[in-house]
Amino acid sequence: MQPLHFSFLFVGFLLLSLVLRLWLASRQVRHVSRHRDAVPEPFASRISLPAHQRAAAYTIARVQLGIVDQFVGAVVLLALTLLGGLQFIHETWMRWLPDQPLLQQLLVMATALLLISLAELPVDGWRHFRLETRFGFNRMTPALFVADHLKALLVGALLGLPLLAALIALMQHTGQRWWLWAWAFWIGFNVVVLLLFPTVIAPLFNRFEPMADGPVKERILALLARCQFSAGGLFVMDGSRRSAHGNAYFTGFGKSRRIVFFDTLLARLEVDEVEAVLAHELGHFKKKHIQKRLVLQGVFSLVAFALLGWLSSQIWFYQGLGIAIGPFQAQAPAGVALLLFFLALPVFLLPLRPLMAWMSRRDEFEADAFAVEHSNGQALVSALTKIYEDNASTLTPDPLHSAFYDSHPPAPLRIGRIRQRLAEAAPAAPSQP
C-alpha cells in the first residue's frame, strides 16, 4: 500500500466515525426530547414527571458534551499523526538523548500520552464541575479532582513505563515472533494488575470499609451461601466523596475477590433490594460472563499483537501516519510503532462497537434472570427503578443509539423481561368449578 493511500484511508475512517457518532447523537437528542413529557407506562406509578424530565435533560447534556469530546479527540489524533506532532516529539527526544534509545522511546510515548491526557482535561473538568454539578451529582472538590489526576498519572507511570520497556525489549530481541512473546507478557501483566487492583490500586483513590454487621450483611451472606459463592470480603466504598451516583461491583480473583457497594447505593435501597442487586452481580459470575469476557479480550489482544507484528515492518504504515522513515531504515523505533498502532487502531474498530454492546446486553438479561431465580424479582424491579431515577438515566433512549452504544438494555425492555419471568414463574390460579 502507498503511504498516501493509507493516509486517506485513515482520515476516511476517522471522518466516517465522527459523522456516524454525530448522527446517532442527534437521533438520541431528538428521541429523548420527543418523549420527555410523558413517563413510560411501566414507570408511571414510580417515577414522577419532573424526575423523568430531569433525566431527559441530563441525557441530552451528556450527549452534547460527548460530541465535543469526540471532536477534541479527533483533533488531538490528527495533530499527533498526520500533522506531525509525534514526529516532532520523536525528533526532539532524539536530539536530547541520542545515545539512550530505550529511554528516548519511553519518553516519546510518555510525552504523547501526557499531551492526550492534558487535552482531555478541560472536557473532564467541565463534566464534573458544570454538567454533574448542574444536575446535583458532583461532590468532588477541585483539590480532589487534581489529586485524582495526579495519582492516576503516577500509577500509570509506575505500571505503564515498565510494561512499555518490556514490550520494546521483546520487540527488539525475540525475533520475528516477538509479537507472540509480547502478547504473553501482556496477558501476564493484566492478570497481575487484576490481582493487585482490589487491595493495592483501588485504595489509592477510595476508602473501603468492611461492611458493618446488620440485616444487610446477614441477607448478603445468606445469598452467598445459597449460591455457593465465596468472597474475600464485603466492603463499602466512599463513592459519595465524588458523586451521588450509586453502584455495586465485584473485583479481583481468588482470595483477593471482593464485593463492593457504594455508600450512596446502600443509603437508598432497602435490604431486599440490595440482595437483588447483588444477586444480579452474582449472576455474572455464575454464568461465567467475566471469564468469557477475559477469554475474548485475550483472543482479541492476540490478533492485535499479530497485526502489529506485521504492520511494524510496513514502511507505509509509518509514513501514512506522519512518521518519516529514512532510506536505510526498515521500520521506526519500537516505541513509535507501539504508540502509532494503539492510536490508530480504535479508528478502525467502530464496526465492532454494536456487537460488543449486544453481547453485554445479552449478559445483563442472563444476570437478571439469575437474580429473579435466587432473590426477590419484585425487589430487583424496585431497585433498578430507584437506580434509574437516582442516576437520571433516560427511560426513553433512541433504539438505534442504544443498540450501538449501550452495555445495558433500555429500562422498559429490561423491566419488561423481569416482569415476564416473574409471571412465568408464578403458580397458576386454581380453576373454578
Each residue's pLDDT tens digit, 122-151: 999 999 999 999 999 999 999 999 999 999
Q: Which of 272, 368, 390, 398 is catalytic?
A: 368
Q: What is the 3-state secondary structure (H, E, C) of 160-180?
A: HHHHHHHHHHHHHHCCCCHHH
Instruction: Tell whether the torsion through CA atoms of 43, 47, 49 and 55 is positive or negative.
Output: negative
| pLDDT band, residue 292 (cuts 50/70/90) | very high
**The predicted structure's pLDDT at residue 255:** 63
Amino acid letter, 354 = P
- Each residue's pLDDT tens digit, 333-357: 888 899 999 999 999 998 899 999 9
* Per-residue three-class SS string for 34-98: HCCCCCCHHHCCCCCHHHHHHHHHHHHHHHHHHHHHHHHHHHHHHHHCCCCHHHHHHHHHHHHCC
pLDDT above 70 as % of the chain: 96
Q: Is the pLDDT of residue 407 over 50?
A: yes
Cα atoms in the Cβ-side hemisphere of radius 13 Å centred on 389: 19
H-helix or E-strand spanning residue 260: strand 258-262
Judge whether 228 lies within some domain: no
Residue 208 lies in a domain: no
Report if residue 170 sits inside a domain.
no
Q: Which residue is associated with the grid cell 475477590?
A: 257
In a domain, 21, yes or no: yes
Rounded Cα distance between 24 and 415, Å, is 24
Least confident of 20-24, 89-93, 208-212, 231-235: 231-235
> Which entry of 272, 273, 281, 389 is annotated as an active-site residue?
281
Q: Does the pLDDT value for residue 322 go beyond 70? A: yes
Is 284 labelled as part of a ligand binding site?
yes
Q: Cell digits for 284? A: 455474572
Least Cα distance to 80 among 311, 336, 350 occurs for 336
Of 216 and 252, the structure prediction assigns the larger pLDDT to 216
CA 173 to chain centre: 34
Is the pLDDT reported for residue 328 higher than 60? no
Told to judge if 273 belongs to the known catalytic residues of this protein, a careful annotator would answer no
Q: Which three cell numbers stand for residue 194?
A: 487484576
Among the listed ranges 321-325, 327-331, 352-356, 368-372, which one has the minimum average pLDDT value?
Answer: 327-331
Q: Is residue 112 part of a domain?
A: yes
Full domain range(s) for residue 114: 1-137+307-424
Q: Residue 343: phi, psi to the nearest 5? A: -80, -40
Number of structural domains, the chain? 1
Predicted pLDDT at 427: 63
Mean pLDDT of all residues in 46-67: 96
Domain annotation covers residue 198: no
Render the burial of 257-280: b for 16+ CB within 10 Å, e for the rest: bbbbbbbbbbebbebbbbbbbbbb
364 annotated as belonging to a binding site for a ligand: yes
- What is the sign, positive or negative, of the torsion defined by CA atoms of 261, 266, 267, 268? positive
Domain presence at residue 20:
yes
What is the model's pLDDT at position 256?
Answer: 63
**Grid coordinates representing 128?**
464534573
Residue 197 domain flag: no
How many other CB atoms are there within 10 angstroms of residue 394's CB atom? 24
Distance CA 211, CA 351 (A): 42
Whether residue 281 lies in the annotated active site: yes
Rounded Cα distance between 277 and 198, Å, is: 20
Interval 239-243 mean pLDDT: 87
